[in-house]
Structure 1
Amino acid sequence: MDGPMLVIPIRHCGRGICFSFSGAKATKPLLIVFVSLLATATLARAAARPQNFEAEQIKVAQQGLNILMNGNTETAGKVFQKIQSDDPDSALGYLMEANALWWEIYITTGNLIDPDVFVVSSGSTSPYDARFNKLVDTAIAKARANRNAKRDVARNNLYEGMAYGLRGRLASMRGSNLAAARAGKQMRSLLITAVHQDRNLRDAYAGIGLYDYFVDTLPTIVKLLRWMIGLPGGSRERGLHEIEYAAKYGELTRGEALYYLAKDYSRTNERQYAKSLELFGQLSSQYPGNGLWKLMVGSLKIRTGHPQEGEALYREVLNQERGKESAAAKSLYKAAQKAVERRHPNEHIQ
């Protein structure tokens, strides 16, 4: 993929707390044997694949991601399951299906119309959580097995890092700050390793950028966590640059990186609403089937003093999602309904 290279500094972690698990000794030899056997089998199957097989699977994943970003999580999930069937040793299909489930979780449990849309009650769960966690665990295991088999080590560092990023997203939504921080730290380490092994893996910068941005802009709790687990520091400015880079040049993260960049610009600490509107407008144009983008634009229109335009977009979402049976469509409809009724308390929308 064409595009300039982005170079980031590597910083050593500072002071942290070490943990030991004495009970792990008994199972370690068995684990080593299991991973070694899995890696050997993976290597044997990898030798039988066509040389361009991975590139073809990435193209299929991109098709699924376009479907996902256009609002059809269920169909996207089936595309990603096909990748699993075609290449059961690869982490890619499991990683992508987990990503589709994360969007399903986000849309059905997140706050879709207020500024900080990731805020949900810490006790919230969804029917998708168990499957999501299983897919993330599987993606991590597959990536590690492939690395042990010396199969595309850099790319499998990328996939494992992206899987930890997904784990951190859900932990953050659930209010589990320590779990989110640990997952983010692991994600960052793997993604930095991936891009230093192969600078063409530009998708890594989506996760690295999110880490750099949020560690530098989140509240006091992050400072405490930095001391507890040796969490490396970040940089708001560098983070925004890295996310933008992934939005331009990534293979698997372009749409999502564009979303996060737009969302970051809309945060109250940024207030760069014109940039945010432009980026959400791009998402709405590229993926017109996804009512989420219209909700985002409508919210921003109202916050920037254009209530009539914002309300018109909310009503577009009502019309677009009305009568659809999917859980995501129903959640988008309810969010738009809530937004309109908030502005017109006497109007009851069915």
Structure 2
Amino acid sequence: MARKIIILSGLILFQIQVLLSMNPQEEPVKSLVLQGMDFSFNNRFAEAEKVFDQLIQQYPQHPAGYFYKAATVQAEMLDAEDYRQDGQFYELAERTIQLADSLQKTARDDSWISFYKGSAYLYRSFMKMKMGNWLSAYKDASRGVSILESAVSQDSLLYDAYLGIGSFKYWKSTKTEFLLWLPFISDQRDQGIAMIYRAIEKGDFVQYVGRDQLVWILMDKKDYAEACKLARQNYEVYPESRFFKWTLASAAFHSREWEFSRQLYQELLQQVLQLPENNHLNEIECLVKLAEIAADNQQWQEAYQLADQALRFNLDESVRKRAKNKLHKALTLRNEAEKRIQP
């Protein structure tokens, strides 16, 4: 009996060592992760999920595959502005956290396992924020960043973790800007941006996602020229990516590059219309932005038609609620255009 226990214990320890030796920076895991991310960036979400399913099959007790599949499901929901897959996303995020906990309880700590655990909390936080669960979102974000900071304190070369930490530092400081005069509230925006740049330059898997996040931060800072520059870099590598095209369209819009912005929103509108399911939210976004561009160029007839089109959809109540600000903008534009058109 004792011999069986020893053998069983040995097998368990061997399996744990195999799991911990699964380094995402090494082949074949790195190629699988990059391939799946490439599919996701190119809107080929089903193919991306198959790649990460393969990773899960090869390492069913490791959090990596579950995390990347969760990120893919979230990307697909964001792409369509349709969150009916949120149950699957939350299950995958929770599985990521549970497996990381199990490995950390039974063996030495591993910085990449901490990375997946902390990042799962951050991705879950973002989804909760999208759904308006602000308090729970903040708790998840704080916990995720704490885990990532602990991982970085153990392994300062874990540059992928710098993205989540840096983003949190920036947005937390921005949202509490009115409290920065207090002695115990520090402004960490510059530090956060520096960490994101470091993640982009030296990280293994966050170059494009980090650059995209940095573009939105630079737009928040009203540094539209640098935002456009970085957004173009992603767009040039992934010209078919709606994910990066939305970012570049917004950066070009805020930079008042009207013709380029108009071109991008028109392309996005056509792509949205070709999706198998369309709840009209992204369609409204494109129409309103195109109406704003037309209005700014004194093209009032076109502005009226675009804004009017945005107001004519028969929306589900949940979608109408989420589109409230866009619809208000469309109504304002239509009213203004109507005044300008009348003799």
State the TM-score, normalizing by the size of structure 2: 0.74
Is contact 2:16–2:103 with CA below 8 Å preserved after alignment? no
- For residues 10 and 278 of structure 2, what CA distance do their matches in structure 1 show? 41
- Which residue pairs with 1:340 in the alignment? 290
Question: 1:295: which partner in 2?
Answer: 246
Instruction: Pick closer, same or farther for the CA change 1:150–1:169 going to 2, 3 Å.
Output: same
Match of 1:181 among 128, 131, 138: 138
Q: CA 1:97 to 1:154, structure 2 compared with 1: closer, same or farther past 3 Å?
A: same
Gaps of 5+ in 1: 1-38, 110-124, 224-230
Shift of 1:306: 2.6
Aligned mates of 2:275, 2:143 — CA distance in 1: 39
Pairs aligned (count): 288
The 8 Å contact of residues 107 and 331 in structure 1, kept in 2 or not, is answered as no
For 2:51 and 2:179, how far apart are their aligned partners in 1? 37
Shift in Å, 1:233: 5.9
Distance in 1 separating the partners of 2:233 and 2:117: 29
- Residues 292, 332 of structure 1: 8 Å contact kept: no
Greater CA radius of gyration, 1 or 2?
Answer: 2
Query: Which of 189, 199, 213 matches 2:170?
Result: 213
Structure 2 counterpart SS, 1:192? helix
Matched to 1:93, the amino acid is: G
Structure 2: distance between partners of 1:218 and 1:49: 40
C-alpha distance in structure 2 between counterparts of 1:256 and 1:43, whole Å: 36
Give SS of 1:289's match.
coil
2 CA distance for matches of 1:126 and 1:324? 15
Structure 2 letter corresponding to 1:274: A
Question: Which residue of 1 is the match for residue 35 of structure 2?
Answer: 63
Amino acid at match of 2:236: S
1:22 corresponds in structure 2 to: none
Q: Using a 3 Å threshold, how does the CA distance of structure 1 residues 146 and 272 change in structure 2: closer, same or farther?
A: same
TM-aligned CA deviation for residue 314 of structure 1: 1.4
The counterpart of 1:93, out of the listed 65, 87, 93, is 65
Among candidates 115, 119, 126, match of residue 162 of structure 1: 119
Relative contact order: is structure 1 or structure 2 higher (C-alpha 8 Å, sep ≥ 6)? 1
Quote the offset at 1:334 in angstroms: 5.7
Q: Which residue of the partner structure matches residue 321 of structure 2?
A: none
The code of the aligned residue for 1:289 comes to E
What letter is aligned with 2:305?
N
Matched ranges for 1:1-350 at <5 A: 43-47=13-17, 54=24, 55=26, 56-109=28-81, 126-150=83-107, 153-219=110-176, 235-267=188-220, 270-325=221-276, 335-340=285-290, 343=294, 344-347=303-306
Distance 1:69 1:83 in 2: 18
- Gaps of at least 5 residues in structure 2 are 1-8, 295-302, 314-343
In 2, Cα distance between the equivalents of 1:271 and 1:215?
Answer: 17
Shift of 1:236: 0.4
- Is 180-189 or 145-154 further displaced after alignment? 145-154
Deviation (angstroms), 1:190: 0.8
State the shift of 1:63 in Å: 1.4
| Equivalent residue letter for 1:273 | Y
**Aligned-residue CA RMSD in angstroms?**
3.1
Residue 318 to residue 194, structure 1, CA distance change in 2 (3 Å):
same
Residue 43 to residue 325, structure 1, CA distance change in 2 (3 Å): farther
TM-score, L = length of structure 1 = 0.73
Q: Deviations over 1:131-179 (max 9, x none)?
A: 1110010000111111123265222111111111111111221222211
